[in-house]
């Protein structure tokens, strides 16, 4: 079993013919992802990477019946692209785009809450179910099929955690990079709940960072409802208050936003917190043994 995507997912790529869309679509297809079509307004009727191109998501849905959309479009077009896929009732929408205005994402979030679609991102590396499908920009070669779920706000720390898990012989069920912006679709707690409900996920890695309350909310939920071991890491211990650190959402605004405060809350809620991402794999292996 997997979370959100598997080998049967039918993927549509928005921004398919652009340089980013082309490169990452090729990489996804090499991994085995079932890309069925693409969308680039004005280029409908063309064939790109041996897949049909459409002018709109609605046209693509009628012709190819995709259930997942991945978005590689510039920030100024991203809101419209996300809303177009939500309107087309995509099961899952993954937005890789960085730099989308917060105002745009507030509008998207409001619309998303009235739909059945799930949004991952924006400003994220995407999602991968090892050995089956990857949607986004994660490097597939470091992943290994297994039963550890990974949720992270940071792309590079996702890769580090996966590498540490793989090196100690622990494969992954699904890895979700939720994104580092202030307003995103899928939260840390949303992802944790999915992994807790997945029978084939036996342990969970939670990677957070300074700023916001997502990790704290997830920790409190785990304390009350968790049934599987969770290893956690928070980036940004040395970050000064009031300064963005890498991600737009990584900014300390209150006493509970700091790395130390989040780590203490997570430990109080029964999460196994590590001081370095280099310890994630060994910590999880020790817990499971």
Query: Which residues are identified as catalytic?
Result: 247
Whole-Å CA distances, 241 to 112, 195, 235, 250, 251: 32, 32, 14, 10, 7
Q: Is the dihedral of CA 166, 70, 72, 117 positive or negative?
A: negative
Q: How far apart are CA 78 and CA 141, in angstroms?
A: 29
Could you tell me whether strands 47-48 and 51-54 are parallel, antiparallel, or unpaired per DSSP bridges? antiparallel
Question: Counting runs of H as helices and runs of E as strands, what totals does the chain give?
Answer: 9, 14
**With contact defined as beta carbons under 8 Å apart, do 39 and 54 qualify?**
yes
217/200 Cα distance (integer angstroms) = 24
CA torsion 271-274-278-280 (nearest 10°) is: -20
Rg of the chain's alpha carbons, rounded to an integer?
18
Token output for 277: 């991402």
């Amino acid at each position: 079993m997997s979370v959100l995507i598997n080998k049967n997912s039918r993927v549509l790529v928005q921004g398919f013919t652009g340089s980013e869309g082309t490169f990452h679509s090729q990489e996804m297809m090499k991994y085995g992802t079932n890309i069925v079509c693409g969308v680039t307004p004005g280029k409908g009727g063309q064939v790109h990477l041996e897949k049909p191109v459409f002018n709109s998501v609605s046209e693509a849905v009628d012709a190819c019946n995709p259930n997942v959309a991945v978005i590689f479009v510039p920030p100024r077009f991203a809101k419209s692209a996300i809303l177009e896929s939500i309107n087309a009732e995509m099961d899952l929408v993954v937005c890789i785009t960085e730099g989308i205005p917060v105002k745009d994402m507030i509008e998207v979030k409001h619309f998303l809450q009235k739909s059945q679609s799930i949004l991952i991102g924006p400003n994220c590396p995407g999602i991968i179910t090892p050995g089956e499908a990857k949607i986004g920009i994660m490097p597939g070669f470091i992943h290994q099929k297994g039963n550890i779920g990974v949720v992270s706000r940071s792309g590079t720390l996702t890769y580090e955690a996966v590498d540490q898990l793989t090196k100690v012989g622990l494969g992954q069920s699904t890895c979700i990079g939720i994104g580092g912006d202030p307003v995103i679709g899928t939260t840390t707690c949303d992802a944790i709940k999915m992994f807790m409900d997945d029978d084939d996920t036996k342990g969970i890695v939670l990677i957070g960072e300074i700023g916001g309350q997502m990790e704290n909310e997830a920790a409190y939920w785990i304390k009350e409802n968790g049934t599987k071991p969770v290893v956690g890491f928070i980036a940004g211990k040395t970050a000064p208050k009031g300064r963005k650190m890498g991600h737009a959402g990584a900014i300390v605004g209150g006493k509970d936003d700091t790395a130390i405060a989040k780590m203490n809350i997570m430990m109080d809620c029964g999460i196994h917190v590590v001081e370095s991402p280099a310890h994630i794999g060994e910590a999880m292996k020790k817990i499971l043994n």
